[in-house]
Amino acid sequence: MIRKVLIANRGEIACRIIKTCREMGIATVAVYSDADARALHVKLADEAVHIGASPAAESYLNGAKIIAAAQRTGADAIHPGYGFLSENAAFAQAVIGAGLIWIGPSPAAIEAMGDKRRAKLLLKGVPLVPGYSGEDQSDETLIAAAGEIGYPLMVKAAAGGGGKGMRRVNAVDELSDALAAAQREALAAFGDNTLILEKYIERARHIEIQIFGDTHGSVIALGERECSIQRRHQKIIEETPSTALDDDLRQRMCDTAISVGQQIGYVNAGTVEFILDEAKNFYFMEMNTRLQVEH
C-alpha cells in the first residue's frame, strides 16, 4: 500500500498528482526551490520540503535531496511527473535502492528506450523507418550509409528529443555540416553525440499511442493522438481520434505499441510514437518512458 507520495516535480503536474492522491486518500509531500516557495503545489500538498536554490540543477534535478526529503517525511513512494528526473534511469534505480516505490517504468525500460539507436536494435517485429543505427559513428560510415538510404533524410541525436540534434538533409553536399551541427547540439543537450540516420518520410503524420502496463505483465493501449501540426519539431495542436486512421489501422498500430511495451516489460504510463506515410504505412519512431505532457 502507498500511503504517502512525494512528488518530485512542480507546477501543473504536481497539482494534478496531489488532486488524484487526495481523492485516493493518499497523503502528499511537495518539494520546492527558492523560486517556488509560494507556488500552488506547495500550498496544496499535505507537507512541503525545501530542496535548494532556484536553478533546477540545485533543486529539482538533485536526486539525492529528493530521496532524502522522501525519507525524512516517511513517504512510501516518489512520483516524478514529467520532465526533470522522470526519464533518468539512475535516479529511478536510486529511488528503488533507497527502499522506496518508484511510480514509473523500470530503470531497465527507461534506459532501453532512452537511446533511439539501442531501441531500434532491441525491438523485434516492429516496423522501422529505413535508416542507419550502427555503432560506427565515423563520418565516412555515416556518409556511406546516407548514400544507401537516399535523400532527403533525417539526422537525429540517438539520445535526443524535442527536435534537438535533428537536421533534415536534402543532398549529399549538406551532410557533413548537418552531422557536425547535430553532434554539437546533441552533446550540449544530452551529453551524447551519437547519431542515427533515417529516410525522410514526405508529408508524414505523427501518431502516438498511449499505453499502460501493470506489474503482472499486462499492457493495454488507450488510443492515439494525432500530433502532426508542429513548429520546429514541437507539437502545437493534438487531436484524437486521428482522422487518418480507420479501425483496422488503429488496431494494428495499437497492437504494435502493446508489443513494444511487452518486449521491454513496461510498467506504468508510456507513449509509443509512430510516423505514418501517405500510403498508410507506419513506422516506430521512439518511446517516451514517462507520463506524457499531453495526457
Q: How many CB atoms lie within 10 A of CB 194?
A: 21
State how far the alpha carbon of 125 is from the alpha carbons of 178, 260, 283, in Å.
31, 9, 11
Which helix (H) or strand (E) segment is 48 a member of? strand 47-52
Residue 29: exposure state from Cβ atoms within 10 A (0-12, 13-18, ≥19): buried
Nearest one of 111, 127, 121, 129 to 255, comparing CA atoms: 127
Q: Which three cell numbers stand for residue 290?
A: 514517462
Selected catalytic residue, list 10, 167, 205, 290? 290
Residue 187: exposure state from Cβ atoms within 10 A (0-12, 13-18, ≥19): middle
Q: What angle do CA 91, 273, 234 make, to 5 degrees?
A: 85
Q: Which three cell numbers stand for residue 143?
A: 556518409
Distance CA 81, CA 205 (A): 27
Q: What is the DSSP string of 212-277?
A: EE-TTS-EEEEEEEEEEEEETTEEEEEESS-TT--HHHHHHHHHHHHHHHHHTT--EEEEEEEEE-
> Which residues is 208 bridged to in the sheet?
225, 273
Q: In the structure, how many helices (H) and strands (E) does the chain have?
A: 9, 14
Backbone angles phi, psi at 189, to 5 degrees: -85, -35
Is residue 198 classed as helix, strand or coil in its secondary structure? strand
Catalytic annotation on 225?
no
Which active-site residues does the annotation give? 290
